[in-house]
Structure 1
Amino acid sequence: MGAVLGLCSAAQLACCCGSAACSLCCSACPSCANSTSTRLMYTVMLLLVMVTACITLAPGLESELKKVPFCKNSTHYIPGDFKVDCDKAVGYLAVYRICFAACLFFVLMALITLGVKSSKDPRAGIQNGFWGIKYMLVIGGIIGAFFIPEGSFASTWMVFGMIGGFCFIVIQLILIIDFAHSWAERWVSNYEETQSRGWYAALLLAMLTAYALALIGIVLLYVYYTKSSGCELSKFFISINLILVVIASGISILPSVQEHQPRSGLLQSAVVSLYVMYLTWSALSNASSECNSISGAESSFDKQSIIGLVIWVCSVLYSSIRTASSSSKLTMSDQILAKEGSGEGADGGESGRGQETKVFDNEGDGVAYSWTFFHVVFALATLYIMMTLTNWYNPSSQLSKENVASMWIKITSSWLCVGLYIWTLVAPALLPDREFN
């Protein structure tokens, strides 16, 4: 992970040890807001932690470590007193220790930035700078975590991981449903204001496309993850989720729902249906090999596993950034994300010479996102990564495709997603005295 100093975003490459992330930047770098570059740097940190955790689970790593001279039970023994138990550097316990250090770092940052209102706060330098020190702190924490006595560490930390991972899933689902509502409301509003057939056609096309993809997904799930005889659990998962999305779509167009939410419609239901089918596919991909025609009996870390892992990594990073950046919707605050070009430094203000400063401060009047909530979400994302890689409540040291625990977590998430969406539809009708935004 020491190579992270070479992977820093170009806009902050020269700011690794400074207190301000926007003071010493190269003139050749593209201009960007301080809030954007800071989130990018934390995302790189989370990505590197994730990659490191994956490496410790890589097949064959344990046998390769036996060739290292200073490891215990080494096949290339060199006489000496310095011996290290390299078995602790691999497996699910290694993932636990790596994520433990990373999670503590984000919790610490959440506490440090608690109550920060703008970049004029003295703590803003800690949030937006000192990148070299931060990365060294994380690396040192990871190394130190390997010296924690095994004892009850794994069982205790697994409980925290399950709670934190579940919270991340819930937050992720809430933001996905909010995305569906926001998208539909924005397009419906544009149509109502302009009465343009283009917006109406776009609404119709988006809805039909999402439903068509969901329907194709259902057919493919039946083809590749079920058999004429057997695989009853897979058939149940696909069928029950199909029924649930049909029910949700029906509820979205009920007269009582339309009365309280005139802009509610099938576009939101189509988006949610497509996402539920994705969760169903993700769950069934972890089912037993007998009911998985794609993976068959293979369990090695092949190209398909790598591609699936890359897609999962991208989705986790995207969800983390989007969820943390949309904190105002979860914390019920009136804070609106600052515009990228606003704030001090964008026009040659206090931070001065906007034409020379490539990373400008756009948070002088107010933070663009809740810094504390941002770090809380990243801490929860770290726990979610840890639990997903290690088979949740049945820890495993292999990145196997057949993962019953992960399958149940994902299928439960799909049911929870439909339940939350239906609640957003019926809540205004059931509780008319409350205001729902």
Structure 2
Amino acid sequence: MGACLALCSVASCASCLCGSAPCILCGCCPSSNNSTITRLVFSFFLLLGTMVSVIMILPGMETQLRKIPGFCQGGTSIPGIENQVNCDVILGYKSVYRMCFAMTCFFFLFFAIMIGVRSSKDLRASIQNGFWFFKFLILIGITVGAFFIPDGTFHTVWFYFGVIGSFIFIIIQLTLLIDFAHSWNKMWLENAENSNNKCWFAGLMSFTVLHYALAIAAVVLFYVYYTQPDDCTEHKVFISLNLIFCVIISIISILPKIQEVQPHSGLLQASVISLYTMYVTWSAMTNNPNQKCNPSLLSLVANISTSPPTDSSSGVVQLWDAQSIVGLIIFLFCTLYASIRSSSNTQVNKLMQTEEGHGTAGEDGVQRAVDNEEDRVTYSYSFFHLHLCLASLYIMMTLTNWYQPDTKTQSMGSSMPAVWVKISSSWLGLGLFLWTLIAPLLFPNRDFS
């Protein structure tokens, strides 16, 4: 899609700045629906803000900017030029908080505007699917304003907003993974049945075994490195409970009664959810302030100190670690999947407030970017923006490793609230997956096809 957009002429793109989503595509692009293009562009805004946040928090960026004469306050200067920029604000965790605050406000604004839109005939639908240049200006304006917010208690208050929003987003993210796992299993089973090719069954089995093998290996490593014989009781409880819960959902997914009402239910979905649950468990344990129970990945490999390195002069924390990188990868996958998904799973569609939609071909028989929402929208505009709003908060917490700001010392550190938020979200997510399995059994008169 990106290469296709690059091939379009500048004049053509300029004419579309105030137009609708179909105008973004040129003739060389693959056919797509208006609703899909809109979601992709909004997701691009989110990814753009994420990239800016990543650049701002990269280790060494502040040191390099302070070398520029007259740029940073308190840095090197040349006669006649005053330091104008506070590099403590535009870099490090403070910049991430402000950038994500701006993205959250931007998407919350559209969430409020789009409440109750039922079809593309609504005047607000034209705002949703067009005026991209002005939307970009609005995002830039909010971002610039965010960097003028005084420190004060902003970071502490916004941290708790991030914790709550990230908790909800983890549940949405798990819903998307459940949808992906169900769709994956259904598609490969249908391919195997229609083609009589055993390779599809072999592929399903291979991925299922791989997911379970990784999950079991993770459990073993957790017990070895994140527990102590006389300490780390919370970690022992977290690991044991989630292991038991994963075994339970795996058994339930293949029970004959469940198979009768859910023919496409199987171990593949349970293995995906089990592996993700172990990731969330690991992510939670890495936020335990008890360093004896929370060795860093570097310390396990190279016997390096487990305390998070900080720059005492600026409070900038070197926040890059393995679980943050994995979290970003999962986030990128789920964001892209949420933008292009068209699920046939009724339960997940109700949870995500979407429905399966299809475009129609043009007069020349070629399907282009078409308005497939004249009768009814294929996804909830407001819920989609709420999802991106929560995603902005999740990005903020992930990039700062869920560390809690300390306004007195101007530094950050691990905290137990982040641990409990992640663990409770894993339990709620497991319950959500269990519901998708047993709901058709408990309510046989309802349509769960």
TM-score higher than 0.5 here? yes
Measured against aligned partners, the alpha-carbon deviations of 1:230-273 in whole angstroms (never above 9, x if no partner) come to 77665554444323222322333446655655654433322322
Cα 1:127–1:28 change in 2 (3 A) is same
Instruction: Please identify, of 425-434 and 149-158, the stretch whose mean Cα deviation from structure 2 is larger.
Output: 425-434
Structure-to-structure mapping, 1:328-407, within 5 angstroms: 329=348, 331=350, 336-339=355-358, 342-343=359-360, 346-348=361-363, 359-392=369-402, 394-395=404-405
**Pair 196,88 (structure 1): closer, same or farther in 2 beyond 3 Å:** closer
What is the letter of the counterpart of residue 141 of structure 2? Answer: G
Q: Alignment length, in residue pairs?
A: 423
Is residue 225–residue 291 contact of structure 1 (8 Å, CA) maintained in 2? no
Matches within 5 A, 1:141-180: 141-180=142-181
Match of 1:33 in 2: 33
Could you say if the C-alpha distance between residues 430 and 27 of structure 1 is closer, same or farther in structure 2, counting changes exceeding 3 Å?
closer
Pick closer, same or farther for the CA change 1:72–1:63 going to 2, 3 Å: same
Q: What TM-score do the two structures reach when normalised by structure 1?
A: 0.76
Tell me the alpha carbon deviations over residues 348-375 of structure 1, each in whole angstroms, 9 at most, x when there is no partner: 3xxxx776x9644444444343222211
Contact 1:161 1:384 in 2 (8 A): yes
1:314 and 2:333 equivalent? no
Shift of 1:229: 8.7
5+ residue gaps, structure 1, are none
1:143, distance to aligned residue in structure 2 (A): 0.6
- Cα RMSD after superposing both structures: 4.3
For 2:404, the aligned partner's letter is N
CA distance in 1, matches of 2:240, 2:85: 52
**Offset of 1:224 from its aligned partner?**
6.2
Post-superposition offset of 1:379: 0.6
Of 64-73 and 35-44, the range deviating more from structure 2? 64-73
| Partner Cα separation in structure 1 for residue 26 and residue 438 of structure 2 | 53
Unaligned runs of 5+ in 2: 311-317
What's the CA shift for 1:98?
1.4
Change (3 A) 1:151 1:304: closer
CA distance in 2, matches of 1:427, 1:30: 38
- The CA distance in 2 between the partners of 1:95 and 1:304, in whole Å, is 12
Q: Which moved more, 1:145-154 or 1:78-87?
A: 78-87
Per mean C-alpha deviation after superposition, the further-off stretch among 162-171 and 51-60 is 51-60
2: distance between equivalents of 1:316 and 1:98?
A: 17
- Contact 2:49 2:100 survives alignment (8 Å): yes
Per the TM alignment, residue 172 of structure 1 is displaced from its structure 2 partner at its CA by: 1.5
Asked if structure 2 preserves the Cα contact closer than 8 Å seen for 1:180 and 1:271, the reply is yes
SS at match of 1:395: strand
Residue correspondence of structure 1 range 22-61 to structure 2 within 5 A: 22-23=22-23, 26-61=26-61
* Alpha-carbon distance between aligned partners in 1 of 2:20 and 2:263, rounded to the nearest angstrom: 48
Work out the CA distance in 1 between the residues paired with 2:447 and 2:21.
41
**SS of structure 2 residue aligned to 1:71:** coil
Conservation of the 8 A alpha-carbon contact between 1:326 and 1:369:
no
Instruction: Among all aligned residue pairs of Structure 1 and Structure 2, give the percentage whose two residues are the same amino acid.
Output: 43
Amino acid at match of 1:392: W
SS of 1:297's equivalent in the other structure is coil
What TM-score does the superposition give when structure 2 sets the normalisation length? 0.75
Read off the aligned partner of 1:57 and give its amino acid letter: I
> Measured at CA, do residues 217 and 41 of structure 1 come closer, stay the same or move farther in structure 2, by a change above 3 Å?
same
Letter in 2 for 1:318: F
1:234-383 aligned at under 5 Å gives the runs: 237-254=238-255, 257=258, 261=262, 264-283=265-284, 288=291, 290=295, 292=297, 293-294=300-301, 296-297=303-304, 305=320, 311-323=326-338, 325=341, 329=348, 331=350, 336-339=355-358, 342-343=359-360, 346-348=361-363, 359-383=369-393
Deviation at 1:381, TM superposition (A): 0.3
Q: Which residue matches 1:419?
A: 431
Say if 1:335 and 1:70 are closer, same or farther in 2 by CA, change over 3 A: closer
The question of whether the paired residues in 1 share the 8 Å contact of 2:280 and 2:422 is answered with yes
Aligned-partner Cα distance in 1 for 2:249–2:30? 45
Matches within 5 A, 1:189-208: 203-208=204-209
Distance between the aligned counterparts of 2:178 and 2:3, measured in 1? 37
Q: Quote the offset at 1:141 in angstroms.
A: 0.9
8 Å CA contact 2:167–2:422 kept in 1: the answer is no
